[in-house]
Amino acid sequence: MSLLSSINIENLPKHLAIIMDGNGRWAKQQGMMRAFGHENGTKSVKTTVENCAKIGIENLTLYAFSTENWNRPKLEVNTLMKLLISSLKKELETLVINNIKLNTIGNLEKLPKSAQKELLEVIGKTKNNTRMTLTLALSYGSREEIINAVKNIATKVKNNIISIDSIDESILNKHLYTHNLPDVDLVIRTSGEHRISNFLLWQIAYAEFYFIDVLWPDFSEEHLYEAIISYQKRERRFGKTSEQIK
């Protein structure tokens, strides 16, 4: 495949984050219920996870369910939770074969007990895997994450565990759900929407963005490689001048 051979494996994003959007519109286009779109979205999840591991991405984070998504109709929320449980059961083997470690971010306590149990099981069975960390953002909201971090830091200050003066970026980082992950290098959002929807606000401070007008169930291996090739053509200056980078 020619696109794959255009990827420079020396310059991969260390952390790729994807906002998987457009399942509902995909289903509607075919005159089907939204659930049909979500089911087909899981196929894109599987191929994307496998292809990211194949090319050597070390950290992949997928936005699967936001804090705001709890406001969707109950039936749709139930469908998504059932799909999460069945996908975890079905794909444990894929994670094991590919040496992928499962991780989660978000307020898992809000998930149904059966989903929590399945997640803990897959996390446990993949905890020693080393090729790639797959993080699922579930019941995740970036503002909630930051508020939790601030509360935990404030408690430590109150109890004289840390001083106010010692609070810096690294301390805040350590109190986020993503404390074990590097900053995001590349964010991909499908479906043509150009927004962040409360995803990893702190962690994307210097991320590159790639918006693609393809609905998530249609997101293919080629689309993934195109996004990475686009990322590799960019100059990341981090505030410096172009001359300083070269």
Q: Which residues lie near Mg ion (CB under 5 A)?
A: 21
Phi/psi of residue 104, nearest 5 degrees: -135, 155
With binding defined as CB under 6 A, does residue 145 bind ligand IPE? no
Nearest-angstrom CA–CA distance, 41 and 231: 24
Question: Given the rule CB under 6 A, which of 62-70, 119-127, 146-154, 236-244 is the region that contacts ligand IPE?
Answer: 62-70
**Residue number, 102 or 153, with CB nearest to ligand IPE:** 102
**CB under 8 Å to 151, separation ≥6 — which residues?**
none
**CB under 8 Å to 102, separation ≥6 — which residues?**
95, 119, 122, 123, 126, 134, 136
Find which of ligand IPE, Mg ion, none residue 20 binds, CB within 5 to 8 Å per kind. ligand IPE
**Is 21 considered catalytic here?**
yes
Nearest-angstrom CA–CA distance, 115 and 120: 9
With binding defined as CB under 6 A, does residue 22 bind ligand IPE? yes
**Residue number, 68 or 93, with CB nearest to ligand IPE:** 68
Among candidate residues 8, 11, 21, 173, the one labeled active-site is 21
Nearest-angstrom CA–CA distance, 17 and 52: 11
With binding defined as CB under 6 A, does residue 217 bind ligand IPE? no
With binding defined as CB under 6 A, does residue 63 bind ligand IPE? yes
Which H or E run contains 169? Answer: helix 169-174
**Catalytic residue positions?**
21, 69
The residues binding ligand IPE (CB under 6 A) are 19-25, 63-66, 68-69, 80, 191, 193, 195, 197, 216
